[in-house]
Amino acid sequence: MSSMRAILITGGAGFIGSHLVRLFVKKYPKVQIINYDKLTYAGNLSNLADIAERSNYHFVKGDVCDYEKIISTMQQFGVDGIIHLAAESHVDRSIKEPFAFAKTNVIGTLTMLQAAKDFWGSSLENREEMAAKHRFYHISTDEVYGSLSLGGGLFKESSKYEPHSPYSASKASSDHFVRAFYTTYGLPVVITNCSNNYGPYQYPEKLIPVVINNIKENKPIPVYGKGENVRDWLYVEDHTKAIDLVFHKGAVGQTYNIGGGNEWRNIDIVKLIISVADRLLGRIEGASLGLISFVADRAGHDLRYGIDASKLTKELGWKAETSFEEGIEKTVKWYLNEKLSG
CA 235 to chain centre: 11
Give the structural domain span for 156.
6-203+233-261+305-322
User: Where residue 156 sits, what CATH number does that domain have?
Assistant: 3.40.50.720
Please give the tally of structural domains in the chain.
1
Instruction: Give the mean pLDDT of 47-73.
Output: 97
Domain-embedded: residue 237 = yes
Over residues 209-227, the mean pLDDT reads 95
Does the annotation mark 142 as catalytic?
A: yes
Contact 178, 109 (CB under 8 A): yes
> Residue 1 has what pLDDT?
53
Which among 37, 63, 88, 142 is annotated as catalytic? Answer: 142
247-288 pLDDT tens trace: 999 999 999 999 999 999 999 999 999 999 999 999 998 999
Average pLDDT, the chain: 94
Share of the chain above pLDDT 70, in %: 98
Is a pLDDT exceeding 70 seen at residue 341? no
CA distance 218 to 62: 38
Question: For position 301, what pLDDT does the model report?
Answer: 85
pLDDT band at 203 (very low <50, low <70, confident <90, very high): confident
Residue 267 lies in a domain: no
The question of whether 167 is a catalytic residue gets the answer yes
Q: What is the pLDDT of residue 275?
A: 96
Confidence at 24, pLDDT banded by 50, 70, 90: very high
Mean pLDDT of 25-34: 97
pLDDT at 340: 44
Check: CB of residue 152 under 8 Å from CB of residue 97. no
Write out pLDDT tens, residues 158-194: 999 999 999 999 999 999 999 999 999 999 999 999 9
Indicate whether 253 belongs to any domain: yes
Question: Quick check: 188 and 131 in contact, CB under 8 A?
Answer: yes
Q: What angle do CA 256, 258, 259 make, to 5 degrees?
A: 150
Higher pLDDT, 206 or 197: 197
Residue 146 within a domain:
yes
pLDDT of 235 reads 98
Q: Is the pLDDT of residue 215 over 90?
A: yes
Q: Is residue 270 part of a domain?
A: no
List 57, 167, 201, 235, catalytic entry = 167
Answer yes or no: is pLDDT of 292 > 90.
yes
Higher pLDDT, 204 or 291: 291
| Share above pLDDT 90 across residues of the chain, in percent, rounded to a whole number | 89
Q: Which of 88, 143, 244, 263 is catalytic?
A: 143
The HSE-up count of residue 120 (CA atoms within 13 Å, CB side) is 30
pLDDT at residue 92 in the model = 81
Domain assignment present for 214: no
Contact 314, 242 (CB under 8 A): no
Q: What is the pLDDT of residues 63-100, one digit of tens each?
A: 999 999 999 999 999 999 999 999 998 888 899 999 99
The reply to whether 142 falls in a domain is: yes
Average pLDDT over residues 43-66: 96
Cβ–Cβ < 8 Å for 94, 88: yes
- What pLDDT score does 223 carry? 95
Q: Is the pLDDT of residue 342 over 70?
A: no
Pairing of β 81-84 and β 6-10: parallel
Q: How far is CA 38 from the centre of its chain?
A: 16
Beta bridge partners of 82: 8, 136
Name the DSSP class of 307: B
Model confidence at 43, in pLDDT bands (50, 70, 90)? confident
Tell me, yes or no, if 235 is annotated catalytic: no
Q: What angle do CA 142, 183, 123 make, to 5 degrees?
A: 130
3-class DSSP state for residue 57? strand
Name the pLDDT band for 298 (thresholds 50, 70, 90).
confident
Q: How many residues does the chain have?
A: 342
- The predicted structure's pLDDT at residue 89: 84
310 vs 3, more confident: 310
269 in a domain, yes or no?
A: no
